[in-house]
């Protein structure tokens, strides 16, 4: 079983592509929607959240975890790999930043743009990975903190979304290839195309191709599979089913709720909805 980890809904756009290329594999998706968004979090909080999420996936039986969140992939991937998947380990953790960089370098005519969350941009990881492959390639980043919340509200096709995208894309007019550095953004492609007239690059299909290639070279990291799909989320499971279907492009039938207890994410049989003042 392959674990796929994201801060919430966005990684479902990656899962969608993974399932297209690997339809017979079992996937367990963990969306940390109860603690999203990640894009403005400080790095130590991100590391704590990321550790808890990958540990939960390991405990569920996943030996291979794909970090589908660009923010975590840019900030915490190396930490996670060192902590859980070092030499001799029977576990592996893969990210999506390097496939995105490789895809951008392959098609760019000289100037790559990166549209992403504030934390992804401040990490500088996309710039580093792109220029490792092509040192002379120009890279311009733009943080777009309002886009993911607009998409989660279902407003990705509204005039508000168009105007917001227009403001964020203004500094990127000279870019020939724009990397969508947040997994929410593919839902906004029609609006982005109205404003940006260069090449828009969704990294998810490239990440799926890279995973397929990786699995062919490392066949021992997945066991017998039947194409099953399971979900864990730290937010409201009903909301996750409803909104997640937009990102996945398919209905989501059952979602198991998880919550933090003593520093670990644990399964819950139900989600407790509390109103008013709380005393402990």
- Point out the residues that are catalytic: 69, 182
The Cα-based distances of 32 to 7, 39, 43, 56, 115 in angstroms read 5, 13, 16, 11, 22
- Inter-residue contact 59 to 109 (CB < 8 Å): no
Gyration radius (Cα) of the chain, Å: 18
Q: Closest by alpha carbon to 3, among 71, 120, 91?
A: 91
CA torsion 170-171-172-174 (nearest 10°) is 100
* Contacts (Cβ under 8 Å, ≥6 apart) of 127: 114, 139, 141
């Amino acid at each position: 079983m392959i674990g796929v980890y994201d801060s919430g809904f966005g990684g479902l756009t990656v899962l969608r592509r993974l399932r297209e290329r690997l339809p017979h594999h079992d996937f367990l998706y963990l969306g940390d929607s109860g603690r999203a968004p990640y894009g403005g979090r400080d790095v130590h909080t991100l590391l704590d959240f990321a550790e808890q999420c990958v540990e939960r996936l390991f405990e569920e039986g996943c030996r291979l975890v794909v970090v589908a969140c660009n923010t975590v992939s840019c900030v915490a991937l190396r930490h996670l790999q060192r902590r859980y998947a070092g030499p001799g380990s029977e576990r592996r953790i893969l990210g999506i930043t390097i496939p995105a960089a490789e895809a951008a370098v392959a098609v760019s005519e000289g100037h790559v743009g990166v549209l992403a969350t504030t934390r992804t941009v401040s990490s500088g990881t996309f710039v580093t990975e792109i220029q490792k492959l092509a040192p002379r390639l120009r890279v311009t980043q733009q943080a777009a903190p309002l886009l993911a919340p607009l998409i989660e509200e279902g407003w990705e096709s509204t005039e508000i979304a168009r105007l917001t995208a227009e403001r964020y894309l203004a500094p990127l007019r000279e870019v020939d290839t724009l990397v969508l550095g947040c997994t929410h953004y593919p839902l906004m492609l029609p609006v982005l195309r109205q404003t940006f007239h260069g090449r828009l690059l969704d990294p998810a299909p490239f990440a799926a191709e890279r995973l397929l290639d990786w699995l062919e070279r490392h066949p021992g990291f997945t066991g017998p599979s039947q194409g099953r799909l399971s979900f864990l989320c730290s937010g409201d499971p009903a909301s996750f089913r409803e909104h997640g279907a937009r990102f996945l492009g398919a209905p989501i039938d059952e979602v198991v709720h998880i919550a933090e207890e003593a520093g670990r994410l644990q399964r819950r049989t139900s989600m407790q909805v509390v109103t008013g003042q709380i005393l402990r």
